[in-house]
Amino acid sequence: MNTPETKYADFGDVQIAYQQFGDGPVDLMYVSNWSWSVDLIWDFPTIHPWLSSLAELGRVLQFDMPGTGSSDPLPGDRSTTLEEWMDTLGAVLDAAGVERAALVAHDFGGMMAMLFAAAHPERVSGLILLGSSARMKVAPDYPIGFPEEMNARGTEWWLRVWGTGDQNRLTSPSLADDEKLRALQAKYERLAVPRATAKKVFTLAADLDVRSVLASIRVPTLVIHRRGDRFFPVSHGRFLADNITDARYVEIPGLDHFPFAGDNQDLFVKEIRDFLGAAKTEVTIGADRVLATVLFTDIVSSTERAAAVGDRRWRDLLDAHDRMIRGALERYRGREIKTTGDGFLAAFDGPGKAVNCASAIREDAHRIGIEIRAGLHVGEIELRGEDIGGIAVHVASRVMSNAKPGEILVSSTVKDLVIGAGIEFEERGARELKGVPGTWNLYAAAT
């Protein structure tokens, strides 16, 4: 097939390059890794047939991340965050007029797709993860990750060979001895992602952790992993399948990390085709359960303050407080759920927006002469008309109850999902939250 026309989607002040091609019966969104370039990728003799095969299955969208390929860089030339990756995906769907699509994601693109599927299940007909992972680094509860020293050496090697094509020795060993392809890969890397950008984005990606998202994924899911993958070993794929409800898991032979490398692309395509056919008959749990960031706010010492200033002055302060919070929610795309006496309950589709909104509320409250505390948690919520419920709401409320005057406390899930956003946190230790099992590590946002 011919190279598709490149179009642009609005993402704030940034333009996101995307393409749409194919005429199959379903809408597909191909979510690649951070080094994709829609204008250059068609030159590869291995990738062109892969994309053409997907085009036979559906109407395919693909796009470049902010700051890579033909997309604009973010303001200040900073690196993007996982939440912004997710929002970019939504912006491209909107620009293309696609309400709902199956997400076909490989490599780090899988993390973006998982977050989007959990937060916006109404827009995802299916989730297909190819050579993906929830986390790269080892952790006490994640022994399959890479040790810190090994990860550091790997990152140093990756950045050293960026622009040479030698990364194929790790990601696509079946192609590593093809000198023409290596030269093409080297040129592609230099044009698609400048070395400085590659360093920022790869360093961010290596720290990402979306394990807390997996239990909230409620869409039909297919996980495919090659047994000999050395970039994300097969244990990473098995972990995803074990922790996403009703996920179908398929292992195929081979050493290559990317689905378009190696001689068994047809196995990937067959499994995807079969899955898309089966997904049509599945009843997807509706959008009554979604992943969200829950924010509670409260005015500190409100009773004492009301007694000190009198009823009329207090009423004026409350009105100013409510206007201030509603303005912040509008700026940061939060949804007001309800007022809670002297505070608010709100929900966001991303934790970065929620933390920044809480910070803005704290600053604005200080300007009008009051002090607030806030608590945030990321988890699955139940949508009950205009209200929300579920354990995540209770956790966020208890987190706020532990906050000191002027403090914004967050759970560890919030902290883990805002890596790269420039938000600093101070440890507040493990706490028991009233009515909630276990102990919870809490952090104060310094932003």
Which residues, other chains included, contact 311 with Cβ-Cβ below 8 Å and sequence gap of 6+?
none
CATH dotted code for 6-281: 3.40.50.1820
Confidence of residue 286 (pLDDT cuts 50, 70, 90): low
| 79 neighbors 422 (Cβ within 8 angstroms) | no
Query: Which tokens in the block code for residue 377?
Result: 């948690």
Count of positions (residues) in the chain: 447
pLDDT in tens, 135-188: 999 999 999 999 999 989 988 998 999 999 999 999 999 999 999 999 999 999
Question: Following DSSP, what letter does each residue of 173-222 receive, concatenated?
Answer: GGGTT-HHHHHHHHHHHHHHS-HHHHHHHHHHHHH-B-GGGGGG--S-EE
Question: Following DSSP, what letter does each residue of 14-39 receive, concatenated?
Answer: EEEEEEEE---SEEEEEE--TT--TT
Which residues, other chains included, contact 326 with Cβ-Cβ below 8 Å and sequence gap of 6+?
336
Query: Which tokens in the block code for residue 294?
Result: 């829950």
Distance set, CA 74 to CA 188, 254, 331, 334, 374 (Å)? 21, 37, 18, 22, 29
pLDDT in tens, 354-398: 999 999 999 999 999 999 999 999 999 999 999 999 999 999 999
| 167 neighbors 142 (Cβ within 8 angstroms) | no
Question: Following DSSP, what letter does each residue of 371-408 receive, concatenated?
Answer: -EEEEEEEEEEEEETTEEESHHHHHHHHHHHTPPTT-E
Question: Which SS3 state, helix, strand or coil, does residue 412 take?
Answer: helix
- What is the rounded distance in angstroms from the CA atom of residue 347 to the CA atom of residue 5? 37
| 84 neighbors 53 (Cβ within 8 angstroms) | no
pLDDT in tens, 95-143: 999 999 999 999 999 999 999 999 999 999 999 999 999 999 999 999 9
- What is the rounded distance in angstroms from the CA atom of residue 364 to the CA atom of residue 295? 16
Distance set, CA 90 to CA 55, 87, 255, 414 (Å)? 20, 5, 33, 21
Does residue 285 register a pLDDT over 50?
no
Domain range list for the chain = 6-281, 289-445
| 83 neighbors 213 (Cβ within 8 angstroms) | no
**What's this model's pTM, rounded to 2 decimal places?**
0.92
Please provide the distance, in angstroms rounded to a whole number, between the alpha carbons at the two ends of the chain. Answer: 49
Task: Fill in the DSSP letter of residue 245.
Answer: T
pLDDT in tens, 76-90: 767 788 999 999 999
Is the domain covering 289-445 a CATH 3.30.70.1230 domain?
yes
Same fold, 6-281 and 289-445: no
C-beta neighbour count of 315 within 10 angstroms:
12
